[in-house]
Structures are given as C-alpha cells and as structure tokens.
Structure 1
Amino acid sequence: MKSVLHPTYFPDILTTAAMVQSEQILFEVCDNYQKQSYRNRMYIGTANGRLLLNIPVKHTGTGGHKKTADAQIESSFLWQRQHWRSLVIAYRTSPFFEFYEDELHPLFHTDYESLLEFNKATLDCIFELLDSTPNTHYTTTYKMNYDDSEIQDLRMLADAKRKPEMTLPRYRQVFEEKTGFIPHLSVLDLIFNLGPESLSYLTDLDLQPLMRSKA
C-alpha cells in the first residue's frame, strides 16, 4: 500500500512504522505550513518525563499562508546546540546512543535554512539507522483528499494536537523505573534503546487501529 505523510522532524514511532510498512511513501510538500505540528517538533524521553524539542521557524510578516516547502528556520537561536545537548543528556546511558552518535552529530552541527531540507536530512538519517530503503516520492500539487483504496492518507499524524490513536507495545527505556513507560516519542528513543531490533518492532506494529481511527 502507498501512504502519503508529512516529512516531520525525527518522526514519532507510529509515523515511522507507517513509513517502513508502506510499499511507497508520498511526502506532502505542497500544503500550507501549520504551526504546532510535528513538522518542526519532536518529543524525547528524559529523567523528568517527556521533553519537547522545537525548531524555531521564521515568521513571514505578511499575514498570509506560506507553503511548508517555503518555511525557513530561524537561525538566530542556538536551537541545534540545545537539541543536541538534550539528546546527549537524555540518551548517553542508553544501550545504543554511542553506536549511532556519529551519524546524528552532523545534523546538529550543519547550518540549514529550509525546514523541509532539514527534515529530509533527518528522515534520510533515520532510514539509514534502521537499515531501511523505502521508495519515496514528493507531491507536486496539493490534493485535499485521496482514494483510500489507492493510498493511505496519514497526513493527520503530523498534527501535534491529535490524540494518540493506539497503544504502543512497551519497549525498554532509559528512565522507565523513574518515569514509567512513555509512549509516542520520537523514533530516536526507540533506536537508542533497541538498536538493530528497532526495525522489527516497527514492521511488526499492528497499524489496523490507526486505519480504523481515520473514519
């Protein structure tokens, strides 16, 4: 089955599972940019619970809508340094952080102007870490609705206000004894904790509850 999704910032586990289980991924890049979405944010697990990491995006100042493809990162903030430091603090004791650290480090020490280009880079990195080679394409026009018999429209997964559609199977986490299991984090949490087992976790995840929740 084909799926259409938004390219988000180190996507959450559910979104990543949908991607690795899709025969073909169509990334939506022709929509209007939406605030408070996973386009520019992710959540990680820390000793104090869930932590939001947010990429600052420039305001257009025109009052009109801007396309996601035109969204520019506000580089006057040291957000990359802050995000990398947060990841190191949260996951340096995880089983596989050091194993993947060298692949991730350049993303937080290279300047990016376009949010879309940065998100593409994070997705490429995720697929490399998972040893997955999906068939990916990008939209050339915006389409409001898709025929579910031809393509799964999963663009709603980028909505940060949307309540989780399903319960995720527990996996070991760094601070689980203190915080309890925290679901629906960035797939980085899964990768740092499960390492090479992550792809099996994602491919075995039953997405039928997600499909039913779309109705």
Structure 2
Amino acid sequence: MTDSSSTTVYLSTAYLAPIEYFTKLLSHDYIKIEQYDHYVKQTYRNRCTIAAPDGPLVLTVPVIKPETPKCIIRDIRISDHGNWRHLHWNAIESAYNHTPFFEYYKDDFRPFYEQKYEFLIDYNEALFQLICSLIDLQPHMTRTTFYQT
C-alpha cells in the first residue's frame, strides 16, 4: 500500500533497459511494470543498443506475436529463430570483453543467453532484477493487474 507522499512510476518492460529507465528507480518509491499495454514493434521492449567497437549496435530479441491485431505485452513469446542468444552473447562479449570490470559481471549475464525463457516479459524482468542487484538497488516493483491509463 502506498501512502500519500510516495510516488509510483509505470514503465514498460525493457530488454537491457537504457540508463534513463534506471533513473526512474531512484526518483520513485514504487515501480509498476505495465503488462497489459499493447506490444509495439521496434521499441526497447525487445531491443537494446550496446556500445560496439564500430559504434552503436542494436540487438533485437525475436518474438512470436499472437495473431490478434492488438496483443498485450504479457502474451509475447520469445522465438528461438536464428540462434539469437548466441549472437547476442557474442556481440556483448566482443563489445565489452576488454572493458574494465566486464570479467566480474559476465558470469552473471551469461546464463540469460544459455537458458530459454518462454515470455519476453519474464526474460526482461529477470535481467532487470539481476542489474538491480548488481547496482545495489532494491526497487518495490510489481506488475500491473489491469491496463493503467
């Protein structure tokens, strides 16, 4: 339960969210992940940008969308098409292997590119929780129970 002085922010799910996403955690008491919004292609829900040696590199998690015209994010499944886990991990390792501290964190991230998740929102949430633990944040995070307007 929130009191009158607490603040809540509603966020979409995000694959390896940008730093701006995490700044919201510092300025709000409660985080609600909106799981009933409509899935929109080409957004950070299933895309991230990493700093590769040749410039920014966009990584996209392939998804399987139900046949309905507007489907909610919690129903989006991850596709195993194209060996994307291997490609993403190789790109991340190539981009960051020679940077300070990557050797200390790579074993934390590697399992996310070895095991399968059925739903995008579950995968993103697990990565989000890992990152929060690594940067010592303990957000009060829950998923929405209905669409928040």
| TM-score (normalised: structure 2) | 0.91
Summarize the alignment of residues 84-163 of structure 1 with structure 2, pairs less than 5 Å apart.
84-144=89-149
Residues 75, 113 of structure 1: 8 Å contact kept: no
Gaps of 5+ in 1: 145-215
The partner residue of 1:21 within 3, 19, 27 is 27
Following the alignment from structure 1 to structure 2, what is the Cα–Cα distance between the partners of residues 20 and 75? 35
Following the alignment from structure 2 to structure 1, what is the Cα–Cα distance between the partners of residues 65 and 24? 31
| Stretches of 4+ aligned residues off by more than 3 angstroms | none
The partner residue of 1:4 within 4, 7, 10 is 10
Matched, 1:31 2:74: no
Q: Which moved more, 1:27-36 or 1:13-22?
A: 13-22
Per-residue CA deviation, residues 107-138 of structure 1 (Å, 9 max, x unaligned), is 11001111011011110111111111111111
Match of 2:4 in 1: none
Following the alignment from structure 2 to structure 1, what is the Cα–Cα distance between the partners of residues 38 and 138? 28
Match of 1:155 in 2: none
One-letter amino acid matched to 2:47: R
Following the alignment from structure 1 to structure 2, what is the Cα–Cα distance between the partners of residues 66 and 89? 35
Summarize the alignment of residues 50-69 of structure 1 with structure 2, pairs less than 5 Å apart.
50-60=56-66, 62-69=67-74
One-letter amino acid matched to 1:28: E
Q: Report how many aligned residue pairs link the two structures.
A: 143
Following the alignment from structure 1 to structure 2, what is the Cα–Cα distance between the partners of residues 118 and 20? 23
Identity %: 31
Q: CA deviation at 1:63?
A: 4.7
- In angstroms, what is the RMSD of aligned CA positions? 1.1
Following the alignment from structure 2 to structure 1, what is the Cα–Cα distance between the partners of residues 148 and 140? 20
SS at match of 1:78: helix
SS at match of 1:98: helix
Gaps of 5+ in 2: 1-6
Match of 1:46 in 2: 52
Higher relative contact order (CA closer than 8 Å, sequence separation 6+): 1
One-letter amino acid matched to 1:138: R
Following the alignment from structure 2 to structure 1, what is the Cα–Cα distance between the partners of residues 23 and 54? 26
The higher radius of gyration belongs to 1
The partner residue of 2:86 within 81, 84, 93 is 81
SS at match of 1:52: strand
